[in-house]
């Protein structure tokens, strides 16, 4: 009979569970240690918890299964052990005490063992103690994840080092996605973890169940803060230096560049392009990296979408089919710099007065100088300077980004050739 079928040693209604939960909620470490070390018997007792996510980090989302359990007749029992609780909260004294009293370091009645919990919390000292007492460094949780796959924060670097020192498998493919630890590091933007894994022999172009390499996973991961952006850029540069294929496609034929463009990361796009990524690649849906950049332009950070579009065009990305330009105008009306960069990539493009109908009045008013200059071209040819720009760009082709800076021209003219937006069209 499994522990899920057996009655817990300390059910939800017990006095000890109530006091333990109160102590944890209050951050009363002394009381937590006293309860775990002096009152819980046996040392591997199974403790039942409520479905309130109380022993996880405050920002964690309640699992769907737990939510369903609250509203259906199915009761979702959450079980753990004293060792798991101590490891999850970094209580080194408790972990040492329990292990010295022969607690099983691999017990996982609730699906995760103490080593999983220590890695999730980034508690290096607890991780080392558990490993020294024989914890299995490759123990799989109920979700099929090894401890290395739960090293998901910068603070967990020490945990990852300890696991590898004790024989953890760096190339282990785990979970529904068949991710390796390097994939996990890429998904969470952990450049130091990635460097550690590569140094231990991780294959840089290993693929998961979705056909993604670590580089692909990193380019598609969400980042929010400047620090996360910087870590992601360092990680991708590390992977590329380690031999990662810049143009590796996943199961949907999307390249890392498709994903970086979809996330509006101009620095990352430029990095990929300079390592040979195909600016004109098409995914299974027929979308190019440029199309991905245009689709997400209005929700991207300021300046990012036009920089992404500019980088793609300067690396030879085909421009949008002229008949589709009104659709781009409708989609990107709030980001006129994107429209300017794209419009200037054509030698000539017939401007229609009807285009004004797709631009909301408030957007037109906000960016009136630009839109006035755009619609003025409906009756005026492009300048000779622009035609010369197009001729030079056509001659240089995909090497515009490389050759234009070498031309004996003032920097302002070089930037003009590289489609630097000016705020108006001429």
Q: Mapping DSSP to helix (H, G, I), strand (E, B) and coil, where does residue 49 land?
A: strand
Q: How far apart are CA 246 and CA 131, in angstroms?
A: 37
Q: Mapping DSSP to helix (H, G, I), strand (E, B) and coil, where does residue 424 land?
A: coil
Q: How far apart are CA 198 and CA 367, in angstroms?
A: 49
Residues 6+ apart with CB under 8 A from 213: 204, 205, 206, 207, 244, 245, 248, 256
Tokens of 310: 């500019």
Closest C-alpha to 44, from 12, 88, 81:
81
Closest C-alpha to 94, from 71, 126, 131, 54:
126
Q: How far apart are CA 208 and CA 250, in angstroms?
A: 9
State the DSSP H helix or E strand holding residue 16, giving kind and residue range, or none if neither.
helix 15-26
Q: How far apart are CA 127 and CA 258, in angstroms?
A: 38
Q: What is the pLDDT tens value at each position of the chain, 426 positions in all?
A: 344 457 788 888 888 888 888 888 888 888 888 888 888 888 888 888 764 443 444 444 434 333 333 333 344 457 889 999 999 999 999 999 999 999 999 999 889 999 999 999 999 999 999 999 999 999 999 999 999 999 999 999 999 999 999 999 999 999 999 999 999 999 999 999 999 999 999 999 999 999 999 999 999 998 778 888 899 999 999 999 999 999 999 999 999 999 999 988 899 999 999 999 999 999 999 999 999 999 999 888 877 899 999 999 999 999 999 999 999 999 999 999 999 999 999 999 999 989 999 999 999 999 999 999 999 999 888 999 999 999 999 999 999 999 999 999 999 999 999 999 999 998
Burial of 270 (0-12, 13-18, 19+ CB in 10 A): buried
pLDDT at 374: 95
Q: Mapping DSSP to helix (H, G, I), strand (E, B) and coil, where does residue 79 land?
A: strand
Instruction: Return the domain boundaries, the chain.
Output: 1-150, 307-426
Tokens of 259: 């994903």
Tokens of 41: 């018997």
Tokens of 333: 């009306």
Q: What is the pTM of this model?
A: 0.87
Q: How far apart are CA 198 and CA 194, in angstroms?
A: 6
Return the sign of the alpha-carbon dihedral for residues 206, 210, 211, 217.
negative
Which CATH code fits 1-150? 1.25.40.20
pLDDT at 37: 85
DSSP code, position 150: G
| The 3-state secondary structure of 350-419, one letter per residue | CCCHHHHHHCCHHHHHHCHHHHHHHHHCCCCCCCHHHHHHHHHHHHHHHHHHHHHHHCCCCHHHHHHHCC
At 300, give phi and psi (nearest 5°): -90, 160
Contact 260, 219 (CB under 8 A): yes
């Amino acid at each position: 009979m499994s522990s899920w079928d057996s009655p817990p040693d300390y059910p939800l209604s017990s006095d000890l569970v109530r006091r333990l939960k109160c102590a944890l909620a209050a951050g009363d470490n002394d009381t937590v240690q006293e309860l775990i070390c002096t009152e819980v018997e046996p040392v591997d007792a199974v403790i039942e918890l409520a479905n309130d996510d109380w022993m996880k980090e405050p920002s964690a989302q309640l699992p769907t299964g737990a939510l369903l359990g609250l509203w259906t007749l199915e009761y979702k029992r959450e079980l753990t052990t004293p060792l798991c609780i101590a490891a999850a909260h970094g209580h080194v004294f408790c972990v040492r005490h329990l292990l010295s009293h022969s607690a099983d370091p691999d017990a996982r009645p609730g699906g995760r063992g103490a080593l999983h919990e220590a890695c999730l919390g980034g508690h290096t000292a607890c991780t080392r103690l558990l490993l020294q007492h024989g914890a299995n460094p490759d123990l799989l949780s109920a979700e099929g994840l090894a401890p290395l796959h739960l090293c998901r924060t910068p603070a967990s670097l020490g945990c990852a080092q300890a696991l590898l020192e004790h024989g953890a498998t760096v190339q282990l493919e785990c979970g529904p996605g068949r991710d390796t630890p390097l994939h996990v590091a890429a998904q969470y933007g952990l450049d130091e973890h990635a460097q550690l894994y590569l140094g231990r022999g991780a294959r840089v172009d290993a693929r998961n169940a979705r056909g993604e390499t670590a580089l692909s996973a990193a380019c598609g991961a969400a980042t929010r803060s400047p620090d996360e952006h910087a870590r992601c850029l360092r990680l991708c540069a590390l992977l590329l230096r380690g031999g990662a294929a810049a143009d590796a496609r996943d199961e949907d034929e999307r390249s890392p560049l498709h994903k970086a463009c979809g996330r509006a990361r101009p620095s990352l796009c430029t990095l990929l392009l300079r390592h040979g990524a195909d600016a004109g690649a098409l995914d299974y849906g027929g979308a190019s990296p440029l199309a991905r950049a245009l689709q997400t332009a209005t929700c991207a950070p300021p300046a990012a979408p036009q920089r992404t579009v500019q980088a793609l065009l300067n690396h030879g990305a085909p421009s949008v089919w002229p008949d589709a330009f009104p659709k781009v105008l409708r989609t990107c009306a709030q980001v006129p710099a994107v429209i300017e960069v794209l419009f200037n990539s054509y030698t000539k493009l017939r401007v229609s007065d009807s285009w004004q109908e797709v631009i909301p009045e408030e957007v037109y008013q906000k960016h009136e100088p630009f839109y006035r200059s755009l619609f003025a071209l409906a009756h005026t040819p492009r300048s000779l300077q622009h035609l010369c720009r197009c001729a030079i760009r056509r001659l240089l082709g995909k090497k515009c980004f490389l050759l234009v800076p070498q031309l004996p021209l003032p920097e302002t003219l070089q930037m003009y050739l590289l489609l630097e937006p000016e705020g108006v069209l001429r």
